[in-house]
Amino acid sequence: MKRIILALCLILPLSACAGAWSKTKSWLLPRPEDSSLRALTTGGQSAAALDVVTEAQKAAAVAAPNTGQTPSQVLGIVSVALGSPAEPGLWLKSNLLAAPSKGRAVLANGAGVNVDLLPAAGAATLSFSAYRALGLALTDLPQVQVLALP
């Protein structure tokens, strides 16, 4: 008798799901009348809309710096991740420095961008605009050489 009651207690809650399964071939697929999924996949912002740095600012940042006779100081090589798109500008946050300064992030292929170097704990991050200026895919995790400009 106890087994019958236990079996009914386990089976009855599952019987309530039978109506959902009959409307689609698989319970994994959303129902056709479910508009919440459609709302999640439409109306997003493009990468260009999130990038507030102008093309002129990017061109100036990508141009080689005029350091004169004073060489740039190499701070190190770090792997960078994409920084928050909510923080505008051209910056690199890293634990390589203790105070904010001006610098340059240079890829292995020689492409570089002038950035504001900001101290931070943890993994290094490069701004959204700097990623776009360097032509990187947003999922890339490139290694950059960090230079402090005089």
CATH number of 99's domain: 2.40.40.10
Exposure class string for 101-117: b at 16+ Cβ within 10 A, else e: eebbbbbeeeebbbbeb
- Residue type (1 letter), 46: S
Q: What per-residue confidence (pLDDT) applies to 5?
A: 78
Count the domains in the chain: 2
**H helix and E strand count, the chain:** 6, 6
Question: Are 27 and 54 contained in the same domain?
Answer: no
Question: Are 70 and 22 contained in the same domain?
Answer: no
Question: Are 88 and 118 contained in the same domain?
Answer: yes
List per-residue pLDDT tens for the chain, 150 residues long. Answer: 777 777 767 776 666 655 555 555 555 555 555 555 555 555 566 666 677 777 888 887 887 766 555 567 899 999 999 998 889 999 999 999 889 999 999 999 999 999 999 999 989 999 999 999 999 998 999 999 999 988
In whole angstroms, how large is the CA radius of gyration of the chain?
A: 26
Question: Are 11 and 71 contained in the same domain?
Answer: no
Q: What per-residue confidence (pLDDT) applies to 3?
A: 79
Q: What per-residue confidence (pLDDT) applies to 58?
A: 80
Q: What per-residue confidence (pLDDT) applies to 85?
A: 86
β-pairing verdict for 112-119 and 101-107 = antiparallel
Q: For residues 96 and 117, give the distance between their C-alpha atoms in angstroms, rounded to a whole number.
A: 9
Question: Are 10 and 82 contained in the same domain?
Answer: no
Question: Are 69 and 121 contained in the same domain?
Answer: yes
Question: Are 54 and 121 contained in the same domain?
Answer: yes
Domain interval for residue 119: 49-148
Question: For the whole model, what pTM was predicted?
Answer: 0.64
Question: Are 129 and 85 contained in the same domain?
Answer: yes
Question: Are 69 and 21 contained in the same domain?
Answer: no
Question: Are 63 and 103 contained in the same domain?
Answer: yes
Question: Are 35 and 57 contained in the same domain?
Answer: no
Question: Are 142 and 69 contained in the same domain?
Answer: yes
